[in-house]
Amino acid sequence: MSREKLFFLFDANNQKSVRANAVLSRRYARYLVPSMKEADVVVVLGGDGFMLRSLKKILYYRQSLKKAGRPEPDFKVYGLNFGHVGALLNPCGRFDLLTRLGQARVVPLAPLKARILKTDETYCRGFAFNELSVKALAHQMCHLFVSFKTPTTWRGAPVLGDGVIVSTPAGSTAYYNHAGGTPFPLGSALLGVQSICSATPLREMVPDTVRISIDADHVDRRPVCVVMDNQVVNNVYGCTVKLDRKNAIPVLLNENVRFDVSALISGRARV
């Protein structure tokens, strides 16, 4: 990896990542390139929230190049944890970055792609690398209907409660897990669906080829919102969700990060 071209993204609101960027930029100055599109590896310095924002930034950047008819960059993403949990980041410490890059494995992270119908009869779209949730906006429980569709089958289930979460493997140790879902490892061809504080509990593991629709009833009295990682869309009728493999981003993870699922479930995981 000695010839890797590097580009650093750092969280300007996190003093640890600001200092790390200064130190690493000096140490690896000979490998730095001035723009992301020239890099072989984009190194993200920050916490989970900044990592998710960076992945979305990269996704939209690639889409803008595609729309302009320009070639998409072929870089990978390597995160260093300067936050708290760091589920998609590698632990920092005394190490040689180039050696760590050479030892890392590539995990393609595909986002959920949502098409959302709003109460004003307009549509919007969004992406989520961790999870998408449909949640109640009022003090009353929301009335949802969740359906699972393939080219040959269809089934559905009602949910009366605070909402529903659809999680990728990357997000299965976060909000989805805290709501009662069981984590599943990166690389699993699955999506997790979990109700939130529901009178009609729903817990499903479905193939990631399934299209999931979530529709809300009585939204005039029981309004709902859609949350996609850190993006919120208020006052919606519902949405359709599907994994978008075409927009997968290759992320580099060292072997000691987030692969011991039994430890994650028991709370013994260290990252």
Which residue in the block uniquely carries the two structure tokens 């729309």? 67
Q: Pairing relation of β-strands 41-46 and 76-81? A: parallel
The CA–CA distances, whole Å, from 198 to 57, 84, 176, 180 equal 34, 29, 14, 11
CA atoms within 13 A on the CB side of 151: 1
Q: How long a stretch of residues is the chain?
A: 271
Given 11, 40, 48, 162, the catalytic residue: 48
Helices (H), 69-120: 97-103
Residue by residue, DSSP assigns 198-241 as -SS--EEEEETT-EEEEEEE-TTTS-EEEEETTEEEESEEEEEE
- Cα torsion angle, 172, 177, 180, 186, sign: positive
Return all residues near 126 (Cβ < 8 A) that are at least 6 apart. 113, 114, 116, 226, 228, 231, 233
Q: Is 260 a catalytic residue?
A: no
Contact 75, 36 (CB under 8 A): yes
The residue ranges of DSSP E strands in the chain, in sequence order, are 6-10, 41-46, 76-81, 105-109, 112-118, 123-128, 131-136, 142-149, 154-161, 163-167, 190-196, 203-207, 211-217, 224-228, 231-234, 236-243, 249-253
- Residues annotated as catalytic are 48
